[in-house]
């Protein structure tokens, strides 16, 4: 799929080459500096040298003078400026192409095929069973979900795996706790809270009575050996936790292709440990534990404890090898907090030493920072120090309802009660997601509720509101004219909107290559801002002629579509009324 901006580049190369002064494949185009009124620039230094001309400015002038532009070209103007040839679009042709493209393709506008034939595995969210999801999981879920959508849009076959923490010695403790005390009545009402509580109680008790640790170890051994009672109870804990998680995922609109979890790899672990030993990567310690060392390169770690239990690391090694055997992914992506950086270095290096060099090289850890409050302090919700994902969403919802209620009181919207509630839901989730995605993922992100939920500024509600505004204009117009005469949209405000629309496919491509949803967030906000400038200056429904009205309505429809597309790739919905 080639979009207008890509066709423009191809045409540039062709027209410059047609002069005979430069070869098409030597035309490397760059973005002109912000103060230059052009759309593309060709720096002539190398081409001048190749043509035997010492002065690149002289060459640029000669080249620009020789270019012949056909009337139907996307290019309008070619001018020399010092050693550069600056190229500007033909506004009429370019506008017609871009708007027809957006309106014709609709939700497919921006789709690419650069990923065709390639498979990717992406591991995100991955919370722990019998625990609540915390804000770290929020970030992983939101960033991972967006990266997955972007890559799918670019044509990759993407396999999204929720690597649940559903195995490990903590289940020995939970089973032992149940053995001692059983569950309380709360278990059905608030299963996760009860599991968290009973785990904490057991932990405390075992500090006073170390024999309890043996009991927990024994229960984990029974679980690993397939003891029916242990497995049954474990399975129940997994299922009941997943029911709770499903509610959170539904709120966020997130789904997975696989939900293997760590337990899935349990049958492969003995073999993995043995293979690592056979290949000389792992060795038995005097204590009986099995460890992996890397000389000076990285700290060593355990593959098996002295009591025989496997670890998080062991299961990640097995996962990596399994993904390779099963899918041969071109990339194996992990969206996990930066505090696990060392863990993934160790995993990838172990797998490499075991001879699985391809998957080791194709595996990437995409880290992200913590969430802090508006002052940059470690974030804490009203109730305590731990920050849980559902509480964040609840708080956002409460605040979004208040914001909407205020708009109603001010007479700025006239939504029905149902529409208000729907908008509040979408705005609150959108605000939380956007606040995460527009910021540099490597850094800590700030939670500034007022900024996040603001209807003006770099926030989801502002962009959603702009979308709703476009929809409202189209509703008032009563129709979206087809095939209007777009070339009459010549004002600088209209042109700025068209150019931003034209950039979308290339922004999506870069966001995919760099695993960086922030690029799309930035672009989407940019489109909303250009639209605001346009709408402030230029009448649409009251345009001076029916032709102008029709063309501007087309522009408004294209903006609505593309705001929707941009938000969708971030995992954010765009309501039609707000
Ligand atoms: N369950 C882990 C946690 O909550 C995250 C797992 C990430 N994925 C992985 N393959 N290790 O910290």
Compute the distance between CA of residue 266 and CA of residue 167 in angstroms, rounded to an integer.
8
Q: 127 in ligand 1 pocket by Cβ < 6 Å?
A: yes
Q: What is the pLDDT of residue 383?
A: 44
Region 518-545: mean pLDDT is 98
Provide the pLDDT for residue 134: 87
Domain chopping of the chain, boundaries: 4-89, 389-570
User: Which of 124, 126, 261, 329 is the best mutation target for the ligand 1 pocket, counting ligand atoms within 8 Å of the beta carbon and taking the most?
Assistant: 126
Q: What is the pLDDT of residue 373?
A: 76
Contacts of 173 (CB under 8 A, 6+ apart): 199, 202, 203, 206, 216, 219
Radius of gyration of the chain (CA): 29
CA of 316 to the centre of ligand 1 (A): 9
Task: Calculate how far, in angstroms, residue 537's C-alpha sits from the geometric centre of ligand 1.
Answer: 50
330 near 362, Cβ under 8 Å? yes
- Alpha-helical (H) ranges within 299-416 are 312-327, 341-353, 357-362, 389-409
Does residue 486 surpass a pLDDT of 90?
yes
| Ligand 1 pocket check for 128: Cβ under 6 Å | yes
Q: Does position 382 have pLDDT exceeding 50, yes or no? A: no
Average pLDDT of the chain to the nearest whole number: 94
What is the whole-number distance in angstroms between the Cα of residue 477 and the centre of ligand 1?
A: 51
Distances (CA, A) of 292 to 276, 301, 362: 8, 6, 21
Q: What percent of the chain has pLDDT over 70?
A: 98
For residue 536, the CA-to-ligand 1 centroid distance in Å is 48
Q: Whose CA is nearest to atom 9 of ligand 1?
A: 163
127 Cα: distance to centroid of ligand 1 (angstroms): 7
Give the Å distance between the CA of 468 and the centre of ligand 1. Answer: 38
Mutate to test the pocket of ligand 1, among 125, 135, 162, 163 (most ligand atoms within 8 A of CB): 163
Mean local confidence (pLDDT), 50-57: 95
CA 281 to ligand 1 center in whole angstroms? 23
Question: How confident is the model at residue 446, as a pLDDT?
Answer: 83
Torsion from C-alpha of 198, 203, 209, 212, nearest 10 degrees: 70
Average of pLDDT values for 156-176?
A: 97
3-state secondary structure 518-538: HHHHHHHHHHHHHHHHHHHHC
116 phi and psi angles, rounded to 5 deg: -55, 135
> Tokens standing for 105?
């393709």
Is the Cβ atom of 363 under 6 angstroms away from ligand 1? no
| Any ligand 1 atom below 6 A from CB of 144 | no
Compute the average pLDDT of residues 318-336: 98
Measured from the CB, is residue 123 less than 6 Å from ligand 1?
yes
Confidence of residue 377 (pLDDT cuts 50, 70, 90): confident
Residue nearest to atom 11 of ligand 1 (CA): 316
Ligand 1 lined by 162 (C-beta under 6 Å):
no
Span 276-293, average pLDDT: 98
Ligand 1 neighbour 165 (Cβ under 6 A)? yes
The pLDDT tens digits for 412-443 are 888 999 999 999 999 999 999 999 999 988 88
The dihedrals phi and psi of 184, each to the nearest 5 degrees, come to -90, 175
Angle at 175 between CA 306 and CA 212, to 5 degrees: 60
Q: Predicted confidence band at 136 (pLDDT cuts at 50, 70, 90)?
A: confident
Residue 512 CA to ligand 1 center (angstroms) comes to 23
**Model confidence band, residue 379 (pLDDT cutoffs 50, 70, 90):** low
Residue 332 CB less than 6 A away from ligand 1: no
Please report the atom of ligand 1 found closest to the CA of residue 137.
4
315 ligand 1 Cβ < 6 A: no
Statement: residue 570 has pLDDT above 60: yes
Atom of ligand 1 nearest to the CA of 336: 7
Question: Is 90 close to ligand 1, i.e. is its CB under 6 Å away?
Answer: no
- Prediction pTM value: 0.95
- DSSP label of 296: B
336 lines ligand 1 (CB under 6 A): yes
Mean pLDDT (whole number) for 347-354? 98
User: Strand ranges (DSSP E) for 70-176?
Assistant: 75-81, 84-89, 119-123, 157-161
Q: What is the pLDDT of residue 169?
A: 92
Residue with CA at minimum distance from ligand 1 atom 4: 127
The pairing of strands 282-284 and 290-292 is antiparallel
What atom in ligand 1 is closest to the CA of residue 131?
A: 4
CB of 494 within 6 A of ligand 1: the answer is no
Query: For ligand 1, is residue 316 a contact (CB within 6 Å)?
Result: yes
Q: Which one of 336, 339, 348, 367 would you pick to mutate in the ligand 1 pocket, going by the greatest count of ligand atoms within 8 A of its CB?
A: 336
Q: In the predicted model, what is the mean pLDDT of residues 179-207?
A: 93
What distance in angstroms lies between residue 342's CA and the mean position of ligand 1's atoms?
13
- Ligand 1 mean position to 164 CA, how many Å? 7
Report how far ligand 1's centroid is from the alpha carbon of 163 (Å): 6
Query: Which of 3-17, 182-196, 263-277, 422-436 has the least mean pLDDT?
Result: 182-196
Kindly give the number of the ligand 1 atom that is closest to the alpha carbon of 319.
10
Residue 440: how many other CB atoms lie within 10 Å = 11
**Nearest CA owner, ligand 1 atom 6:** 126
Decide if pLDDT at 385 tops 70.
no
Instruction: Check if 4-89 and 389-570 are the same fold.
Output: no
Class of domain 389-570: mainly alpha
Concatenate the DSSP letters of all residues of 43-94 into one string: E-HHHHHHTT-S-HHHHHHHHHHH----TT-SEEEEEEETTEEEEEE-HHHH
Distance, CA 324 to ligand 1 centroid (Å)?
18
- For ligand 1, atom 3, the nearest C-alpha belongs to 127
CB 334 near ligand 1, within 6 Å = yes
The answer, yes or no, to whether any atom of ligand 1 lies below 6 A from the CB of 264, is no
Q: For domain 4-89, which CATH number applies: 3.40.50.720, 3.30.1360.70, 2.40.40.20, 2.40.110.10?
A: 3.30.1360.70
């Amino acid at each position: 799929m080639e979009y207008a901006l890509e066709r423009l580049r191809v045409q540039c190369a062709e027209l410059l080459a047609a002069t005979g002064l430069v070869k098409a494949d030597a035309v490397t185009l760059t973005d002109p500096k912000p103060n230059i009124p052009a759309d593309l620039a060709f720096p002539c230094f190398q081409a001048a040298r190749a043509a035997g001309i010492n002065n690149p400015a002289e060459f640029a002038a000669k080249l620009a003078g020789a270019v012949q532009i056909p009337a139907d070209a996307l290019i309008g103007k070619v001018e020399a400026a010092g050693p550069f040839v600056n190229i500007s679009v033909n506004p009429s042709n370019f506008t017609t192409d871009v708007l027809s493209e957006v309106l014709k393709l609709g939700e497919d506008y921006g789709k690419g095929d650069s990923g065709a034939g390639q498979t990717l595995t992406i591991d995100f969210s991955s919370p722990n069973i019998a625990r609540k999801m915390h804000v770290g999981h929020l970030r992983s879920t939101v960033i991972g979900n967006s990266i997955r959508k972007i890559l799918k849009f670019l044509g990759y076959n993407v396999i999204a795996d929720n690597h649940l923490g559903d195995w490990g010695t903590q289940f020995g403790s939970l089973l032992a706790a149940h053995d001692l005390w059983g569950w309380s009545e709360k278990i059905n009402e608030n299963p996760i809270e009860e599991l968290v509580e009973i785990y904490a109680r057991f932990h405390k008790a075992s500090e006073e009575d170390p024999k309890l640790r043996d009991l927990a170890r024994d229960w984990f051994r029974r679980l690993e050996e397939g003891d029916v009672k242990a497995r049954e109870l474990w399975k129940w804990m997994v299922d009941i936790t997943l029911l709770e998680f499903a509610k959170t995922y539904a709120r966020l609109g997130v789904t997975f292709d696989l939900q293997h979890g760590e337990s899935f790899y349990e049958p492969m672990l003995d073999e993995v440990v043995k293979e690592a030993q056979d290949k000389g990567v792992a060795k038995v310690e005097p204590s009986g534990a099995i460890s992996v060392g890397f000389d000076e390169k990285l700290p060593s770690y355990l593959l098996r404890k002295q009591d025989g239990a496997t670890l998080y690391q062991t299961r990640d090694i097995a996962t990596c090898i399994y993904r390779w055997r099963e899918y041969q992914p071109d990339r194996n992506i992990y969206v996990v907090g930066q505090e696990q950086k060392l863990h993934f270095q160790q995993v990838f290096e172990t797998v490499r030493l075991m001879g699985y060099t391809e998957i080791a090289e194709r595996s990437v850890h995409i880290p992200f920072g913590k969430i802090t409050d508006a002052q940059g302090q470690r974030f804490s919700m009203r109730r305590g120090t731990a920050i849980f994902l559902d509480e964040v969403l609840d708080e956002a919802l409460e605040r979004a309802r208040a914001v909407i209620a205020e708009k109603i009181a001010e007479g700025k919207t006239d939504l029905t009660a149902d529409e208000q509630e729907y908008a509040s839901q979408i705005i609150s989730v959108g605000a939380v997601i956007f606040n995460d995605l527009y910021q540099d993922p490597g850094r800590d992100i700030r939670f500034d509720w007022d900024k996040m939920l603001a209807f003006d500024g770099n926030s989801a509600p502002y962009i959603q509101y702009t979308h709703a505004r476009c929809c409202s204009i189209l509703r008032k117009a009563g129709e979206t004219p087809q095939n209007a005469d777009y070339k009459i949209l010549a004002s600088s405000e209209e042109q700025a909107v068209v150019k931003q629309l034209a950039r979308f496919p290339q922004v999506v491509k870069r966001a995919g290559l760099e695993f960086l949803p922030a690029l799309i967030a930035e672009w989407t906000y940019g489109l909303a801002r250009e639209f605001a400038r346009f709408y402030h200056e230029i009448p649409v429904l009251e345009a001076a002629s029916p032709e102008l009205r029709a063309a501007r309505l087309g522009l408004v429809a294209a903006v609505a579509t593309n705001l929707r597309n941009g938000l969708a790739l971030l995992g954010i919905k765009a309501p039609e009324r707000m």
